[in-house]
Amino acid sequence: MGVWLFYIQHQFPQAYWESKSDWSFAQAALMGSTHLDLPPVLRWFTGNIGIHHVHHLSSTIPFHRLPEVLKAHPALRDLNRYTAWESLSAFRLALWDEEQQRMVTFAEAKKMTG
């Protein structure tokens, strides 16, 4: 479960990746990690780590207050939001396509190279 949590929180189709010169902390925090919207029991067992984009933006927010941030800032609730079921499709993503600015599978990359 830990591998799945870490993977989906950082590897998803529209993840944010930039070269060092163009990198932005706020963009990387909000667009480079997900909101894994878990069922309540999994939220409890994982300490709300599914609210990963907010955690990256401000790691000083205690885990039990992360849901309050989503309530106070509704725009964050749907940002890079995946359900547990939806997150399973991201396991096939392995490579970053610079031209398309998105994660792709090995099969997609092979098709692009001819």
DSSP output for 37-65 = E--HHHHHHTTTTTBHHHHHH-TTS-GGG
- Mean pLDDT in the chain? 90
What is the pTM for the complete model shown?
0.79
Between strands 35-37 and 81-83, the pairing is parallel
DSSP β-bridge partners for residue 23: none
Task: Please say if the pLDDT value at position 114 is more than 80.
Answer: no
Task: Please say if the pLDDT value at position 70 is more than 90.
Answer: yes
Q: What is the mean pLDDT of residues 47-71?
A: 94
Task: Please say if the pLDDT value at position 74 is more than 90.
Answer: yes
Q: What is the CA radius of gyration of the chain?
A: 15
pLDDT value of position 25 = 92
Distance in angstroms (rounded) separating the CA atoms of residues 30 and 42: 22
pLDDT value of position 89 = 83
Helix or strand (DSSP H, E) at 103 = strand 102-104
Task: Please say if the pLDDT value at position 71 is more than 90.
Answer: yes
Task: Please say if the pLDDT value at position 5 is more than 80.
Answer: yes
